[in-house]
């Protein structure tokens, strides 16, 4: 499918349109990479919160009379 798509683009699109398609694909690939990094960061944050909630660290601060 990929080779067919590349062949259609190379065969029927004018040069300026082909360059525009390639530039847009590069831009979208960068955006996908940024979003994947953000998802990884947010997943790590959520995992840290879950770990902290599971531990339930309790500090007893009683005053003796």
pLDDT tens digits, 18-61: 889 899 999 999 999 999 999 999 999 988 888 877 877 665 66
pLDDT value for 39: 98
Residues in the chain: 65
Q: What is the DSSP letter of 63?
A: -
pLDDT value for 49: 81
Q: Can you give the residue ranges of every domain in the chain?
A: 2-53
pLDDT tens digits, 3-30: 998 888 778 878 888 889 899 999 999 9
Rounded to two decimals, the pTM is 0.58
**Closest CA relative to residue 18, chosen from 33, 7, 30:** 7
Q: How many CA atoms lie within 13 A of 54 on its CB side?
A: 6
Cα separation, 48 vs 41, in Å, equals 11
């Amino acid at each position: 499918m990929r080779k067919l798509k590349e062949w259609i683009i190379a065969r029927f699109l004018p040069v300026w349109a082909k360059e525009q398609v390639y530039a847009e694909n590069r831009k979208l690939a960068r955006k996908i990479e940024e979003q994947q990094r953000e998802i990884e960061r947010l997943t790590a944050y959520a995992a840290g919160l879950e770990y902290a909630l599971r531990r339930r660290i309790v500090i007893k601060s009683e005053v003796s009379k």
